[in-house]
Amino acid sequence: MMARKPLIEGRKPHFIYFGGGTPSYLSAKQLAHLTDQMKSILPWDAAEEVAFECEPGTLNPGKLAAIRDIGVTRLSLGIENFDDHILEINGRAHRSKEVGRAYERAQAEGFDQINIDLIAGMIEETEENWQRNIEKTIELAPDSVTIYQMEIPYNTTIYREMKDTGKLIAPVADWQTKRRWVKEAFAALESAGYTVGSGYTAVKDPAKSKFIYRDALWGGADLLGLGVASFSHAAGVHYQNLTEIDDYTAAIKSGEMPTKRSFRTTEEQRMIREFILRMKLGRVDAGHFEAKYGVDVLGRWEEELNDLTEEGLLLVEGKDIVLERDGLLCVDNILHDFFLPEHRTNKLV
């Protein structure tokens, strides 16, 4: 349906990304059928990257071979923690033995790049547990390591349970502790030869380990989201698909776009969006925004940048805005300073 639209017709994907959940729950046969259909509509032959997120417990040898055969180049394992108790009480389906088997099998399949995800500050996580996570990660030596800090959005089960029991503080490590843990992890990874490439990721070899989906998207690329509740960004319009499977399939069967909501952005909003996303990489070239949008971001946000410089969170070096390590660790918080007033909110605890 979308492939016939003027915006998409004749174009080929620069990247493919299976994520936003656990696509590895599909069977090998389902994956092959799905991707064959996708390729027949939008050929992948020009894609520089095909990234795929996995739940480790789903990865038997046949499944991994199928994932490789559909053309995946970047495999991401949602390990999150290596402790069975932590995984269980946080509602994760996999356990540590499955993690080890999945990683060995993924290596044997010869993917171009293997990334593992960790989460700092899961429920009941301790200093000792976090240090073991770092040690185990370095022992595995993946191409890329992505570390998220545990958040409790207002629309999650954990938050609803907090509200029902009258708790005001989330049952996870505080932000100061989570940032310190990520800082310690980055320092250990750097000592092991990794390079920190964003507020979340360290890579073993920057020349080899690329994340094209992230870099292209954060640079303003169009994104065509497929599936229930997925988000898209194309030609300056953000839109989300229907969030219920029955509504979604009914729309598809009737030949209608399964769109739930949409928002057309202004050029100013697109500029701010790109600036905020590029800040997550730790370095922003102000000259890029002058050339693309005709905006002097150093002048527009002079006060905000000066305040963050005084706090020791970033530096301005000529035309470059460079985040210090402490700034990178709290980048999601400091970015609110650059939002338009009507977009500033606090929906995390």
Q: Is the pLDDT of residue 284 over 90?
A: yes
Give the per-residue pLDDT at 164.
63
Q: Which two tokens stand for residue 187?
A: 């320092």
Q: How confident is the model at residue 8, as a pLDDT? A: 82
More confident residue, 157 or 123: 123
Give the mean pLDDT of 320-330: 95
Task: Calculate mean pLDDT across residues 286-304.
Answer: 97
Question: Are the C-beta atoms of 251 and 243 separated by less than 8 Å?
Answer: no
Report, as an integer, the average pLDDT of 7-23: 87
The C-alpha atoms of residue 145 and residue 116 are separated, in whole angstroms, by 5
What residues have CB less than 8 Å from 29, skipping those under 6 apart? Answer: none
CA dist 316 and 342 (Å) reads 27
Share of the chain above pLDDT 70, in %: 93
Q: Outline where DSSP puts E strands in 219-313.
A: 231-234, 237-241, 259-264, 283-285
Q: Which residues contact 293 (CB under 8 A, 6 or more apart)?
A: 267, 270, 271
CA 174, CA 349: separation in Å to the nearest integer?
9
Tens digits of residue pLDDT in 54-97: 999 999 999 999 999 999 999 999 999 999 999 999 888 999 99
127-140 pLDDT per residue, tens: 999 999 999 999 99
pLDDT at 85: 95
| Residues above pLDDT 90, as percent of the chain | 81
Query: Domains along the chain?
Result: 2-215 (3.30.750.200), 222-264 (no CATH), 267-343 (1.10.10.920)
At residue 192 the predicted structure's pLDDT band, cuts being 50, 70 and 90, is very high
* Angstrom distance (rounded) from CA 329 to CA 39: 39
